[in-house]
Amino acid sequence: MKKEKKLIGICGTRIFDQNALRFISELRDYGNSLGYYVVAFSANNDSLEDTDDILGEYQLFELSKYLNLRSLIILAETIKNQTLINRIIEIGKEKNIPIFCLDAINKDCYNLIMNYSTGFEKMVRHVITEHNARYINMLAGFKGNPFSEERIAIYKSVLQDCGIPFEEDRLAYGDFWDRPSRIAVKKFLEENSPLPDAIICANDAMALTTCSVLKQEGYRVPDDIIVTGFDGIPQGRYHTPILATCEADYSQTIAFIFEQIGLVEQTKQIKPCDCNIEFRLIESQSCGCTPKIYYDRNQIISTLYDDIGDCTWHNLSMNQMVTSLLKIYDFMEIAKILPESVNMWSDHFHFACIKSELLESNELPEGYGQMVTLLRGHQGEFATPGETFPITELFPGLEEFIQDDKNENMMFIRLLNSGKDVYGYVIEAFYELRDRSLQRCNEFAMFLAHSINTVIHNRKLQELNQNLTAAYNEISILSLHDPLTNINNRRGFYHELRSLLSNPDYMGNCLYILSIDMDKLKYINDNFGHAEGDFAITTLSKAIVSVCQRYHPSSICARFGGDEFTCAIPGNQAEPYETEAISRDISEAIQQLPDVAKKPYPITASIGLSSCLLTVDMDVESLIIAADKKMYQNKADRRKQRKTEKIIEE
């Protein structure tokens, strides 16, 4: 019966780095032989500080909670941020699984400690005892750096053991990289002291630079000067001469990891203990231990050109993807473009998803819930995007994918985020672990995150524009309407009147202007309160609108201020309007409105009417003035009539 594969999680930052990749590759190969499947969580920020990006990376490692992991391995030298490391340890403790910490010491972990000191000591002793070197210079890293200072101390100690006095001018700092190393090596060659037999470097990068400078200055390595490095990067193996160095021996450490995982599964007890990682001496051409062998440079150069070309075209493709999405407002539009962007590079497993909340709004939850697929491709075939699934699955069909021996044997997970805003994640699976493949995975995730961010930005701009348009419309309405009665104000009256006068359909008809002023508003306000005064005004307004609309649907009604109303009614000359009829109609309309009969005061108004033929250049102001005069005359006549009626009654 086929054995079920068991999962191991690896947590690191930018784990396409050469040393991290070598450890992962060896762990993957050993684990696969025992029925284990490795899932790597690759963060993208190596800051020591708790920045927004670091807060976002939290959600990457939170994904490990949803997998049935048998162990978590922390690449502590790559992550660097202790807060993140502590969170990964907490997750491991919550899952009750063993936690292994590479190249750092943390509580509750099986600490895998790099024994740099013994490895570097092997190299210094090798140069002295095997090659009989006496004038030995050292190129250290940064001054004050603990790794650099430790190697300086070992260098001095071995010199003393071998009876060689330490000379201050034979020590220089190359800061672990090219430019300072060049300056330091040239200074070595210019010193008055005897030419060095050997230059021992604190890392391989400085050793390769040293070889380059010596060649430029006319010296041969190792015939004139021995050069050694430390840490075993791949470039040293393809260099001429091949670099003598030391590299971590992970084989025993990896065997230790799986042995401890097995013990935990048997005993159900986690008992953290430490394991030292020793360094093995790689004797080679630059120290004179092996004869010079020239590699087929054509093959090496061809591989490098392939990688450079891949990098160039991949970035062009990703840039085209981002550019094509500059005016997109829908995440599913991204999903349509993705197959074209990734299919040309490889047919390994690609998966990308976002939080479902993004489809409805731009608000992002801190954690995960439902996810939506943007991309699922394998061996040149792509599934339809838009599938919704719970985060607990990580991706639909995860278990079946891992258990199928035909599929890739390792998986990498990378966040889609912008700072602390996490949109989703990308998953890619591989058979062969090459740094360029993992760099491409990293680039794809960054470009996709940028594309998602562009869509979010577009949606926010669209929402802002909609809000601004709505606000503008609201302001426009407010500027043309009276807030109490919700009919036109003076500005609104003239705005609508201009439209009416420009309509050729009304030319040749009459325009009637009504001037209406409510009676006794001050009396109502003083005796019953301003709320009742507002009720009286709104009631009269409703009655005026009702009557005028009945006369003609294009009538314009406006409150000019206080208790004054002005109306414009287009009409036929054959059926002229009359003041008394209008007054009677408005009065009847007032009485039909709710609550009017209950009021202890009457709601009445004085009315003036003027008219003339509609023409484009007609004098509307004169028409309004004429209506006002008639309204005031009507008010005076009605006041006089009330006094006469009162005298008769008495």
Element (DSSP H or E) covering residue 568: strand 564-571
**Domains, the chain, ranges and CATH?**
116-250+279-287 (3.40.50.2300), 490-649 (3.30.70.270)
pLDDT at 350 over 80: yes
Which range, 53-67, 505-519, 538-552, 572-586, is most confident? 538-552
More confident call, 153 vs 640: 153
Across residues 418-441, what is the average pLDDT?
82
Across residues 241-250, what is the average pLDDT?
94
The lowest-confidence range among 343-347, 522-526, 637-641 is: 343-347
Q: How far apart are CA 425 and CA 332, in angstroms?
A: 16
More confident call, 635 vs 238: 635
| Res 606: pLDDT | 95
Across residues 84-94, what is the average pLDDT?
95
Q: How far apart are CA 12 and CA 455, in angstroms?
A: 29
| Res 391: pLDDT | 93
Percent of the chain residues topping a pLDDT of 90 = 60
Torsion sign, CA atoms 195, 201, 206, 209: positive
| Res 163: pLDDT | 95
Which range, 46-55, 184-193, 638-647, is most confident? 184-193
pLDDT at 300 over 70: no
| Res 615: pLDDT | 80
More confident call, 205 vs 291: 205
Going through 310-359 in order, the beta strands assigned E by DSSP cover 350-355
pLDDT at 36 over 60: yes
CB 377 within 8 A of CB 352: no
Across residues 607-611, what is the average pLDDT?
93
Which has the closest alpha carbon to 606: 531, 556, 544? 544
Residue 289 identity (one-letter amino acid):
C
Q: How far apart are CA 258 and CA 35, in angstroms?
A: 11
pLDDT at 166 over 90: yes
Across residues 258-277, what is the average pLDDT?
94
pLDDT tens sequence across 619-643 = 889 999 999 999 999 999 888 887 7
CB 586 within 8 A of CB 579: no
| Res 364: pLDDT | 72
Which residues touch 501 (CB under 8 Å, ≥6 apart)? 614, 616, 618, 620
Across residues 27-35, what is the average pLDDT?
94
Across residues 274-303, what is the average pLDDT?
79
| Res 331: pLDDT | 79
Which residues touch 245 (CB under 8 Å, ≥6 apart)? 123, 204, 207, 228, 229, 230, 231, 232, 236, 282, 284
Q: 559 φ, ψ to 5°?
A: -100, 115
Residue 342 CB-density burial (10 A; 0-12 exposed, 13-18 middle, 19+ buried):
buried
Q: 269 φ, ψ to 5°?
A: -125, 135
Kindly report whether the peptide bond that precedes residue 180 is cis, defined as omega within 30 degrees of 0. no
Across residues 444-464, what is the average pLDDT?
81
CB 277 within 8 A of CB 101: no
What global pTM score does this model have? Answer: 0.71
3 state DSSP class of 562: coil
Question: Across all residues in the chain, what is the average pLDDT?
Answer: 87
